[in-house]
Chains A and B, each alone.
Chain A
Amino acid sequence: MENQTLLTIEDLSVQFVSAGIRTTALSGLSLTAKEGEILAVVGASGAGKSLLAHAVLGLLPKNAQVTGRMTYKGQVLNEKTLPRLRGKEITLIPQSVTYLDPLMPVGRQVYYPMNKQEGRAKTAALFEEYGLSPEVMKKYPFELSGGMTRRVLFSAAVLSGAKLLLADEPTPGLSRETARHVLRHLRAFAKEGRAVLLITHDLDLAVECADRVAVLYAGTLLETAPACDFAADGAALRHPYSQSLWNALPQNGFHPVTGNMPSPGERVESCPFAPRCPKKTALCREKPVPLRPLRGGTVRCIHAT
């Protein structure tokens, strides 16, 4: 059965204009998120992951200029449609306690948009599902541990009934077991026919729990690949950067690549990874590399086969 595509992003670019200087933060990004799947977006800090989430939610600052097209269920996302969809159809699972009102019991914060009795019953059921005892509903945010808070935030996201969930770095600082637990909840969301956009810098977790992985580098999408391609020595991967990323993990060789990701001011039109790439040729530096489909994924590299 073919699942319906929920979110389509085509050629999305985000530029910031500050003091007359224009910097490109995201360029030519195309992605889709389907019902029932987890799409992980990975990349180094500063690669533009969070920016992508903010663009989808329409939460970019005023000096940002967005070009390209984003659609949700065929409906174009813009300043008019987003406020209507945000929180109802598309929702963000925030990463920390600071998103909760410190002066309201958490139970009420989860169900307060709904009618009281129905909401309370549903929240209680959800809390039970997430292993939170009913007393938790009456507690205040400061009384909860980090893990509990995260589960409360998850419940709120589920109860909102949103179809597209954006999870921005839900796992940093958690031990492996707790992180896996969090990601199991994401999987449960997906099983119910939602789409999850998981934004993380933690590649091995992303690979473990997502269906597809999108690799961002210096504001550019270099590859999207099925998660199962991240295996063994990474030969199934399409882009040299994804391969390097995979092989830099401590369990996969721990091989560093020299050099640094270019900062937003020094970005080039051609392949941004070329200066560090083991496979680079003169052609790589010549012109912009288009994103093309390849073996069930996409890649932005002229050498990929």
Chain B
Amino acid sequence: MEEGERVGLIGPSGCGKSTLAKVLSGMLCPQAGEVRLDEKPLPKKGYRPVQLIFQHPEQAVDPKWRMEQILNEGYFPDRDLLNALGIEKEWLIRYPRELSGGELQRFCIARALGPKTRFLLCDEISTMLDPITQAQLWELLLHCSEKRGMGLLVITHNRALAERVCTRIVKFEDLNGKGEETHAKK
């Protein structure tokens, strides 16, 4: 993947898309092969330049933390970003169970958009959301990607979505990772 490139990964459930995302982000170690960033292996410590956003935001935040702590765990996002994401001030003092899935997902995205983030892996991040929230989040992600030259890997089963947001689409067919590549119009 190139810098600032937006690749869509589509394929049926159970074909290994989510596993691939975990390997790419460095959460899982591959049994064979290597993931390289700038020709170097991924760092094992510190803030990871490849960040993963999960499908279920309610599982991706510690239920005992206040939203403010969750948000600031990696770095301190500035107010502009929070405004752009539609994160409201009074949400910060709440606990995760007091927010909806769409609202939590905004926090997860903000948390992953640290200054050192080079690639963002989005694993079905808007599947559980309504269309308006989905469109809001993607508008912001595309904006960020363009402004910072940040790469996006979009894992989804929604073809229309992939065509909207991606510059290149890879179809994942089976466990061997064989697939055809199609270039989207954009």
- A residues near B (Cβ < 8 Å) are 42-47, 145-146, 172-178, 201, 203-204, 244-246, 248-251, 254-261, 263
Contact = CB atoms under 8 A, between A and B. Distances in A.
B24 to A, nearest CB: 20
A260 B99 CA distance: 11
Given A172-B127, A175-B13, A44 B164 contact: no
B102 A45 contact: yes
Contacts of A45: 100-102, 128-130
Interface residues of B, number: 33
Contacts of A261: 100
A254 B158 CA distance: 13
A254 B127 contact: no
Interface string B86-113: 1010000000001111110000000000
B129 A44 contact: yes
If over half of A's interface residues share one DSSP class (helix, strand or loop), that class is named, otherwise mixed; here it is loop
B128 A245 contact: no
B132 interface: yes
A161 B103 CA distance: 40
Contacts of B138: 254, 256
A41 to B, nearest CB: 12
A250 B157 contact: no
B161 A250 contact: yes
Contacts of A176: 157-159
Contacts of A47: 130
A249 B131 contact: yes
A251 B158 CA distance: 10
B133 interface: yes
A46 B130 CA distance: 10
A233 B35 CA distance: 44
